[in-house]
């Protein structure tokens, strides 16, 4: 990963070859990528750092190079909920794509992260000038809206056990890495985080995870979760028998 490769220093001159396979750049040639990178600023975020806040003026849009970004929304009653997680290679804070001049959510580094950013004034130029950038950017946005719709459907139709199982699977599919015990979610995640993602209580999440640990489905500590039996978690996330 880039953070491990470069350590803690912020990148000053990123090699465009590192980005050729990332979705926003995959249809561009290296000269086009270089032109985009030359206008970018890079920044490292410690775990827990806020990249931008909900309602703030959208001054920049971002591309995550390494780490994980947690997207948090505030409900009309003032409650904060975790809407989704964004992994490396994805754009975020793309308010211009939504025709907004403020950020619709808060972005927090769920793990140490490295991101590029550009002034929002460049968004129309990038979309118009680089067909691949536009295509992949709006595809990413569509996928993200689709994930949000799936989450809403889960909250409305699924039992708590199904929702928690589906939440773990989503994080495993997005960021899972193989370890000796199974598949580990690659960023720190707490039981409180899971309760905020599934619309349930901390007590319920703790009870379910403790039961699944006894059954050999997961292993968890305060901030680390390993799925030891993914196939069983898939069954738990499906319709109740």
Same domain, 188 and 107: no
61 and 151 co-located in one domain: yes
Q: Can you read off the two tokens belonging to residue 208?
A: 């379910």
- Are residues 140 and 189 both part of a single domain? no
Domain with residue 199: its CATH number is 1.10.10.10
pLDDT in tens, the chain (241 residues): 454 444 444 445 677 877 888 888 888 888 999 999 999 999 999 999 999 999 999 999 999 999 999 999 887 887 788 888 998 888 999 988 888 999 999 999 999 999 999 999 999 999 899 877 888 778 877 777 777 777 667 766 678 999 999 999 988 988 888 999 899 998 899 999 999 888 889 999 999 999 999 999 999 888 899 999 999 999 998 765 4
Q: Are residues 172 and 53 in the same domain?
A: no
Range of the domain at 232: 159-237
Tokens 């000053």 sit on residue? 12
19: left (phi over 0), alpha (psi -120 to 50) or beta: alpha
Are 149 and 181 in the same domain?
Answer: no
SS3 190: coil
Tell me: do 112 and 181 sit in the same domain.
Answer: no
**Given this model, what pLDDT does residue 221 score?**
85
191 & 144 share domain: no
- What is the biggest distance separating any 2 CA atoms in the chain, rounded to whole angstroms? 55
Residues 121 and 178 in one domain: no
Residues 99 and 32 in one domain: yes
Please state whether beta strands 69-74 and 106-109 pair in parallel, antiparallel, or not at all (unpaired).
antiparallel
Shared-domain flag, residues 205 and 146: no
| Angle, CA 237 vertex, CA 105 and CA 73 arms, to 5° | 10
Q: Domains in the chain: how many in total? A: 2
Domain end, chosen from 156, 172, 205, is at 156
Same domain, 132 and 14: yes
Instruction: Provide the CB-side half-sphere exposure for 186 (13 A, CA).
Output: 20
């Amino acid at each position: 990963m880039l953070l491990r490769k470069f350590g803690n220093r912020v990148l000053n001159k990123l090699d465009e070859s590192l980005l050729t396979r990332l979705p926003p750049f995959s249809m561009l040639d290296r000269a086009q990528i270089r032109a985009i990178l030359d206008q970018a600023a890079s920044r490292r975020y410690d775990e827990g750092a806020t990249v931008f806040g909900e309602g703030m003026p959208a001054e920049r849009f971002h591309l995550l190079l390494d780490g994980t970004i947690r997207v948090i929304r505030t409900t009309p009653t003032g409650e904060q909920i975790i809407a989704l997680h964004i992994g490396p290679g994805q754009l975020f804070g793309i308010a211009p794509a939504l025709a907004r001049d403020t950020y619709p959510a808060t972005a927090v580094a769920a793990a140490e992260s490295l991101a590029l950013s550009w002034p929002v004034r460049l968004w129309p130029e990038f979309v118009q000038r680089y067909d691949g950038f536009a295509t992949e950017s709006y595809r990413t946005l569509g996928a993200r809206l689709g994930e949000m719709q799936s989450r809403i459907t889960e909250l409305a139709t699924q039992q708590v056990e199904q929702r928690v199982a589906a939440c773990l699977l989503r994080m495993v599919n997005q960021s899972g890495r193989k370890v000796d015990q199974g598949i580990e979610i690659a960023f720190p995640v707490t039981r409180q985080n899971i309760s905020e993602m599934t619309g349930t209580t901390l007590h319920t999440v703790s009870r379910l995870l403790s039961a699944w640990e006894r059954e050999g489905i997961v292993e968890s500590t305060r901030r680390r979760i390993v799925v030891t039996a993914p196939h069983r978690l898939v069954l738990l996330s499906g319709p109740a028998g």
